[in-house]
Amino acid sequence: MADFRLEKLYVILDEPIPGINHLQAVDPEEFAWHDTFDLTQQLGVTPLDDFTYAPFDREVWYPAGAGLKSIRSLLQEFRRQAATSEEVQQRMQPRINMFEKLEELFDQADAHDREFYLSARDLD
């Protein structure tokens, strides 16, 4: 277990949402590198890492609204940063796109009273 590396990150819902594949909502390899821990602490919201569990951990389920709050706060900050210059906007756009997809997923999950956790996986 000491060799585990977080290389993929999946959104796991307690029940599916009709018409939405939550496992493919975002690229799991891209999502694994979100690197938002410090920023969420600065924003005063729960870090996404707190919702994340490795295969050998016992997961805890959270209301989708808890994740939605963190995602929306991050997305708002990413958009604020992107508005500072064209160069920053171009650099931030892939991250903004991913978090917009996450916001859409978590908004639907919250509307359907779903619970979630984030499942960390390695490439094997």
Which pLDDT tens digit goes with each residue over 66-112?
Answer: 999 999 999 999 999 999 999 999 999 999 999 999 999 999 999 99
Provide the sign of the torsion angle of the four alpha carbons 34, 10, 18, 71, taken in this order. negative
Query: What confidence score (pLDDT) does residue 89 get?
Result: 96
- What's the pTM value of the predicted model, to 2 decimals? 0.92
Q: How many residues does the chain have?
A: 124
Provide the sign of the torsion angle of the four alpha carbons 22, 39, 50, 107, taken in this order. negative
Percent of the chain with pLDDT over 90: 90
Q: How far apart are CA 13 and CA 23, in angstroms?
A: 9
